[in-house]
Structure 1
Amino acid sequence: MASPYFSNILKTLNPDFLIYDFVVPWALSLGLDQNIPTIQFFIFSAVSVSFLFHRLFKGPSVRFPFPAIYLRDYEIGKFNSMMPPASSNDNRKDDGVPPLQFLITIGHSCDLILLKTFREIEGKYVDYLYELMDSKVVRLGPLLHDPTKDQEDKDEETDHVIKWLNQRETSSVVYISFGSEYFLSKEEIEEIAHGLELSKVSFIWVVRFPKEEKVTRAKEVLPKGFVERVGERGMIVEGWAPCKNMSISMNL
């Protein structure tokens, strides 16, 4: 739906080049149609990118040259269902087309491939990408975010977490979080709480609930008296934690 509007933007701006993410494959076609050099930017590791393009261009029968990287049996079926035929050259992402169909064209049509990595960590995988791709591969480094400039510093809802963390001793705080896609059951929450209470360690525990869940407060599912018993030793965060700012603390 956005491609017609984006095409008009390109015509108006007439940029020297176009950098785009793989989730908007139609940007490649728009750039090529207007003779704009296209640059693909992968924000994930060279390991995963090289493995992906290996399967795209060489097929599942050719073993990936680095045996430590492989698919488990239960992953193979799901992965294969996402893969296009190696001979395909369709960069659309329409219904009925395998989700990774468009990567075939990306691998052969981009002027540059940008990777969020550096040689000291993923050198052999970057070198293998050079062998696989028609495009030039450029490493951008880790591109680490500077949390000291983040707006989270000014967020009153999370600022108290940082203040609490800064008052702890070095390497004394355990961080518990299961991300944004997994929600603990009441039984799992009780078991983790029991372990934290017995451990006597300081902790930051992020607890989230699905939107449709009637329970909206952690205290409703935590063991009775848990918060009072752990006291200042523990910090329960409901919703989102200021992970970027927390990551620079030596106390975590």
Structure 2
Amino acid sequence: MTQTTTQAMTRTTTQAMTRTMVPTGQAALDAREISAWFGDRKVLDRVSLAMPAGSVTALIGPSGCGKSTFLRTLNRMHELIPSASLAGEVLLFGKDVYDPGVKLTDARREIGMVFQKPNPFPAMSIYDNVVAGLKLTGGRARRAEKDALVEECLGKAGLWVEVRDRLRQPGGALSGGQQQRLCIARSLAVRPRVLLMDEPCSALDPTSTRRIEQTIHELAHEVTIVIVTHNMQQAARVSQQCAFFLAEQGTPGVIVEAGDTKTIFEAPSDQRTADYVHGRFG
């Protein structure tokens, strides 16, 4: 590695650390009274949840209870559906991302997202996939800075060692687990403060799942993570806080109970939570 590349990596890493250092316990994201609709159908009813900075919050609950919809409201992905509407506030370190003065591109740069199905740009190389976000957000960087960024982000995503000798090969040629880690690296390249993950391991084998979970552990100290998962063991392994969503008898989704993960799994206050985390329904 050249001295210029090393200096660039040090500079970008320092910037990321400066940006993500926040007071312990402060909420990175604070959703307040979120209600959501698709047309006339209400799918979330006054959901409030504070998601602490520098930690992992898991959203759990049976299918159709509004977990993924709630996740998408956090970075305005909900707006992509023409019939969708929303009430409430989503505060990112105190600033409402739905405020008219907040640009949509800025909100999604600050709050990145990794989807259930890996979605690298298949015709782009691994290298170009990582730096693609810079073009989309209008960022510019010199070649040495890009090289450093690619190595840094692929390293954080646990993929650098596996692909460093084939960075110019198509991202679509990677295995499913590698593609998902490439998508994580791509999200990290624009320096998000929060990373949303919608069932990122549901289509992966156990080995790839373990690597993604290791990546989550390593990232959580600098990027706040919110993950939707149907895997209770995974929620228990990776998160510090859990929120249990439920939609009963056709009613909109609500949070039944939220708190630290150990309490939710070992001593929940609501019997419905205990029944769900112990596999008695869902």
TM over 0.5: no
Structure (1/2) with the larger strand percentage: 2
TM-score w.r.t. length of structure 1:
0.24
Bigger Rg over Cα: 1
Q: Which one scores higher on RCO, CA 8 angstroms, separation ≥ 6?
A: 2
TM-score w.r.t. length of structure 2:
0.22
